[in-house]
Amino acid sequence: MSSKKDIWRSLSAHQKKMQDIRMGDLFSKDSARAEKFTLSYDALTLDYSKNRITEETRDLLLELLEASGFQEKRAAMFAGERINTTENRAVLHTALRNVAERPVLLDDEDVMPEVIAVWEQMQAFEEAINSGDWTGFSGKRMTDIVNIGIGGSVLGSDMVIDALKDFHTGKLRCHFVTNVDATEINDVMQSLNPETTLFLVASKSFTTQETMANARTARNWLVSHYNGKEEAVADHFVALSTNEDAVKEFGIDTDNMFPFRDWVGGRYSSWSSIGLVTCLMIGFDNFKSLLEGAYMADMHFLKADPAENIPVMLALVGIWYRNFWDAPCYSVVPYFSRLKKLPLWLQQVDMESNGKYVTAAGKIVDTATGPIVFGYPGTDAQHSYFQLMHQGTDMIPADFIGILKPAHTVRAQHDMLMANMLAQAEALMLGQESPNDPARYFPGNRPTNTMLLEKLTPYTLGLLMAVYEHKIFVQGMVWEINSFDQFGVELGKVLADRILGEVAADAAGAHDSSTMELFARCFKKS
């Protein structure tokens, strides 16, 4: 087998040969092209034929995959090896959706009994809340949930709940509070009745700065309503955490603490007890269906041949553009408004995972890593940033995502939506000649993947999410980075704590002149 460096050089040489080849010509010369570059699994179809690739490209990318140790590294993740080397942790979010309940070993201990116990705890709690058996301090049933968290404690659950509105039980309203800006939590609380509000505090450590600031504000609001009776907290707060002492000190009954382990990364945690808010909104059976869809994606990723493996091919095509075409950005465009928040979730999962400049071995990378991810639903996006995609100076690869059978019955508008999706992909590929008017010239040859789901259900959404998670893992593996730490999140928090200490002391420390001047303006006492 050729070395990874040799394959990389071959791909670079191949890219030079591909620069003047147009996708439209590739289709004209090969009537079977679409079939050759289309993969289907379960309810998901990927057509990646509208890319600047040939069978030779695919073969070289697959060689790169193999030379990167894909088989061994994929197996290591599923086996519970500590592939998060900087934190000495396993990466076992796949165990959280292991609905087959087969043993998953971590240091020779099966983690599945604990996972199943949390499922059972979540199911019992969901049934108690939605049946009205759980009541607040004054004996009233819950009508509203406020999920307090940030980052991975929110983005996945918020996206899933928004996407699955057709599956809501209809018994609860849901609100998310994420920003340390008190405006957000105050706006939420103004519309709520404290006696019918349940707070979920999502923080593994129960020390996250933004989350705990909002949790204390909510606690004060509730206790004030009950005239200082702090015992009311236990009837209106639950914790998604592992810090039993801090949870107890806050006033939450530890029987209402839903744990998750350190092998669950924040951005992969919506499958864990962090998904309790999802469970409450769509019911436990639908939450379990979400896990089942993700589990099926896991099995496909684990067992399918690389050339037939949807997350693998998505990853390799992404590497082709990021590393050999110098494309820094990548857009995700769901042609279904219920998936509006999918790009936001992907921004965190992708950029927090692969936004790294050192390898897992601690050396400076010698290739570009994670792309800038952005997106918005079609057709809205067509009237905003698609101009840049069509006629801008940068090539921006894109994923288009369509749902074949919507829950509504307005067929004519759904046909219009799907027609727009197909037309945009074709227009980006073919472009438009306009010899007499340069402003109307479209260069074309701009790549897209198109993914189709039969329907949007908890099952298919879980399938789609897990496919993207595995795509990101493959790319990080090829780049030889650790996709599972996120130290870049932490430095700003450390410095914020330092500045807050200086505010309390009414004395700025040593900073650059800009920060000193801004400190004086921001914390000037009136």
Residues annotated as catalytic are: 352, 383, 493
User: Taking the alpha carbons of 420, 421, 422, 428 in that order, is the dihedral positive or negative?
Assistant: positive
Compute the chain's Rg from CA coordinates: 25
Q: CA-to-CA distance for 176 and 281, rounded, in angstroms?
A: 13
Tokens of 369: 């890593």
DSSP one-letter string for 266-302: GGGGGGTGGGHHHHHHH-HHHHHHHHHHHHHHHHHHH
For helices 458-479 and 342-354, give the axis angle rounded to 10 degrees: 20
C-beta neighbour count of 517 within 10 angstroms: 12
User: Taking the alpha carbons of 186, 188, 191, 196 in that order, is the dihedral positive or negative?
Assistant: negative
Collapsed DSSP state (helix, strand, coil) of residue 101? coil
- Cis (ω within 30 of 0) for the bond into 379? yes
Tokens of 274: 């962090």
101 residue type, one letter: E
Tell how strand 448-453 and strand 44-47 pair up.
antiparallel
- Residue 487 Cα to chain centre, angstroms: 18
Tokens 């914790």 sit on residue: 239
Q: Which of 453, 449, 448, 447 is nearest to 402 (CA)?
A: 453
Collapsed DSSP state (helix, strand, coil) of residue 90? coil
Residue 116 CA: distances (Å) to CA of 95, 120, 121, 122, 262 = 10, 6, 9, 10, 17
Q: Which of 53, 51, 57 is nearest to 7 (CA)?
A: 57
* 85-91: long-range pairs with CB below 8 Å, 24+: 85/360, 85/482, 86/360, 86/482, 86/485, 86/487, 87/262, 87/484, 87/485, 89/262, 89/263, 89/484, 90/263, 91/263, 91/265, 91/268, 91/484
Q: CA-to-CA distance for 419 and 411, rounded, in angstroms?
A: 12
DSSP letter, residue 408: S
